Every structure is written in structure tokens, then in C-alpha cells.
């Protein structure tokens, strides 16, 4: 099997990364001073601060606008 046929997940610990537009994710760092396409990096963490570092789980989101300017939530009518 050639090495070209093998596909590996990017990041440390094989954390998964996907992008809607090619080149939107910064390479080699999580929170650059200036993200590609003028996106805003936001870190989402669901881990307690008392958890060991190797058990931390987090997600980096790159948004068109910061979540704080998205406005108030509205009730969604269930179909």
C-alpha cells in the first residue's frame, strides 16, 4: 500500500478537522492573530477545569461573525 493512499486525521491526538471552504482552517495553530477569510475563532470547551489536561475536550469554531452579535434566541415551533 502506498503512503498516498493513507489518510490521517489532522491535529494532535488525531482530533478531527473539517472545513466548508478549502483553506479556511489555519494550519499549525488554533487561534491565529488573523484567521483566513477574516473569520472569528471561538473556543468551545465542555470540560470542567478540575479535569486532567489530557482529558480535556474542546472544539475550535471559525465563524463569520462572533456569537455575541448574533442576537437573541427565538422559540422554535416544533412541527
Give the span between the Cα atoms of 49 and 46, in whole angstroms: 9
- Does the pTM surpass 0.85? The reply is no
Per-residue pLDDT of the chain (79 residues), as tens digits, is: 555 666 666 655 666 777 888 888 887 776 678 888 988 888 888 788 888 877 787 788 888 888 888 778 888 889 8
Q: What is the pLDDT of residue 72?
A: 83
Give the span between the Cα atoms of 29 and 43, in whole angstroms: 13
CB atoms within 10 A of CB 29: 9
Q: What is the pLDDT of residue 12?
A: 58
Q: Assign residue 28 a region (left: φ > 0; alpha: ψ between -120 and 50; beta: otherwise).
A: left
Across the chain, which distance is largest between two alpha carbons, in Å?
53
Amino acid at each position: 500500500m502506498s503512503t498516498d493512499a493513507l489518510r490521517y486525521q489532522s491535529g494532535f491526538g488525531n482530533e478531527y478537522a473539517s472545513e466548508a471552504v478549502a483553506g479556511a482552517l489555519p494550519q499549525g495553530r488554533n487561534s491565529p492573530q488573523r484567521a483566513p477569510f477574516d473569520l472569528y475563532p471561538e473556543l468551545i470547551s465542555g470540560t470542567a477545569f478540575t479535569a486532567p489536561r489530557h482529558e480535556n475536550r474542546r472544539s475550535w469554531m471559525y465563524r463569520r461573525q462572533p456569537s455575541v452579535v448574533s442576537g437573541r434566541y427565538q422559540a422554535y415551533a416544533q412541527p
